[in-house]
Chains A and B, each alone.
Chain A
Amino acid sequence: MTLNLCVLTPNRIVWDSEVKEIILSTNTGQIGVLPNHAPIATAVDIGILRIRLNDQWLTMALMGGFARIGNNEITILVNDAEKGSDIDPQEAQETLELAEANLRKAEGKRQTIEANLALRRARTRVEAINAIS
Chain B
Amino acid sequence: MSSSNLTMWASSKPSISDASPLSFRASVGSIFQLPSSGSPSRANPVAPIQCNLRELRDRIDSVKNTQKITEAMKLVAAAKVRRAQEAVVNGRPFSETLVEVLYNINEQLQIEDVDAPLTSVRPVKKVALVVVTGDRGLCGGFNNNIIKKAEARIAELKGLGLDYTVISVGKKGNSYFLRRPYIPVDKFLEGGTLPTAKEAQAIADDVFSLFVSEEVDKVELLYTKFVSLVKSNPVIHTLLPLSPKGEICDLNGNCVDAAEDEFFRLTTKEGKLTVERDVVRTETIDFSPILQFEQDPVQILDALLPLYLNSQILRALQESLASELAARMSAMSNATDNASELKKSLSMVYNRRRQAKITGEILEIVAGANALT
Residue of B nearest to A43 (CB): B303
Interface segment among B89-97, B155-163, B338-346: the answer is B89-97
Q: A11-B90, A27-B303, A38-B292 are in contact. Are A114 and B197 (CB under 8 A)?
A: no
A40 near B205: Cβ-Cβ < 8 Å: no
A101-132 to B contact mask, C-beta < 8 Å, 1/0: 00000001111011001000000000000000
A66 near B290: Cβ-Cβ < 8 Å: no
A66 near B300: Cβ-Cβ < 8 Å: yes
A103 to B310, CA, bound (A): 23
- Scan residues 79-120 of chain B and give those whose CB is less than 8 A from a CB of chain A: 87, 90-91, 93-95, 97-98, 101, 105
Interface: A53 (CB within 8 A) = no
A28 to B295, CA, bound (A): 7
- By secondary structure, the B interface counts as helix
A80 near B288: Cβ-Cβ < 8 Å: no
Q: A80 to nearest B CB, angstroms?
A: 5
A66: chain B residues within 8 A (beta carbon): 101, 300, 303-304, 307
Interface: A26 (CB within 8 A) = yes
A42 near B295: Cβ-Cβ < 8 Å: yes
B342-361 to A contact mask, C-beta < 8 Å, 1/0: 00000000000000000000
Q: B204 to nearest A CB, angstroms?
A: 8
A10 near B200: Cβ-Cβ < 8 Å: yes
| Interface footprint category on B | 35 or more
The answer, among A43, A63, A78, A114, for a CB contact under 8 Å with B295, is A43
Number of A-B contacts (CB under 8 A): 113
The answer, among B94, B208, B215, B299, for a CB contact under 8 Å with A10, is B94
Residue of A nearest to B303 (CB): A43
Q: B191 to nearest A CB, angstroms?
A: 15
| Interface footprint category on A | 35 or more
The answer, among A26, A79, A109, for a CB contact under 8 Å with B307, is A79
A40: chain B residues within 8 A (beta carbon): 291-294
B201: chain A residues within 8 A (beta carbon): 63, 79-80
- Scan residues 301-320 of chain B and give those whose CB is less than 8 A from a CB of chain A: 302-304, 306-307, 310-311, 314
Beyond A41-B101, A43-B302, 16 extra complex contacts between A and B, CB < 8 Å: A8-B97, A9-B94, A9-B197, A10-B91, A12-B90, A26-B294, A26-B295, A31-B294, A42-B294, A70-B287, A70-B288, A75-B97, A79-B306, A110-B209, A111-B209, A114-B205
11 A-B pairs whose Cβ atoms sit less than 8 Å apart in the complex = A10-B91, A10-B314, A11-B197, A43-B300, A43-B303, A65-B303, A66-B304, A70-B287, A79-B306, A109-B213, A110-B213
